[in-house]
């Protein structure tokens, strides 16, 4: 496993997980980190991101944190810039979402596409 981690780290693969402070996003970051890939985790909650980063670092992962909102183009550019400081970016996982209590088919097109912006 150590050799696999070394090879992954040297390959420059970096995974950016947006919405990675908890739940599925954190689980995705954990899985890639266990595989030896450097990861940048991104999201809006700085305290939860730091807690997730600390967990990953204790397991031996290379982790950076980018705080911001995936709905903001400027923040997404910062996420990528933070990732590029660690290793060349090869993959980004957008796991951010929201909760709109309106029935699905009554939502506005813009609202439905907002998490993908």
Asked if the model's pLDDT at residue 113 lies above 60, the reply is no
Question: Across the strands, what pairs with 65?
Answer: 41
Q: In the chain, how many H helices and how many E strands?
A: 5, 4
**Residues whose CB is less than 8 angstroms from the CB of residue 113 and which lie 6 or more positions away in sequence, other chains included:** none
Q: What is the pLDDT of residue 115?
A: 52
Evaluate if residue 39 carries a pLDDT over 80.
yes
Task: Give me the mean pLDDT over the 17-26 stretch.
Answer: 79
**91 or 111, which is more confident?**
91
Tally of CB atoms within 10 A around 71: 14
Alpha-carbon distances of 86 from 38, 77, 115, rounded to whole Å: 7, 15, 26
Domains in the chain: ranges and CATH: 2-116 (3.40.50.720)
Residue 56: pLDDT over 90: yes
């Amino acid at each position: 496993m150590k050799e696999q981690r070394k090879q992954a780290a040297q390959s420059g693969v970096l995974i950016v997980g947006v919405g990675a402070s908890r739940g599925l996003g954190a689980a995705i970051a954990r899985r890639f980190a266990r595989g030896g890939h450097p990861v940048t985790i991104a999201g809006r909650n700085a305290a939860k991101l730091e807690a997730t980063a600390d967990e990953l670092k204790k397991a031996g992962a290379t982790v950076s944190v980018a705080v911001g909102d995936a709905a903001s183009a400027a923040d997404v550019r910062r996420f990528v810039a933070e990732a590029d400081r660690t290793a060349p970016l090869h993959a980004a996982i957008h796991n951010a979402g929201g909760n709109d209590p309106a029935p699905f088919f009554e939502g506005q097109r813009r609202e439905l596409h907002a998490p993908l912006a």
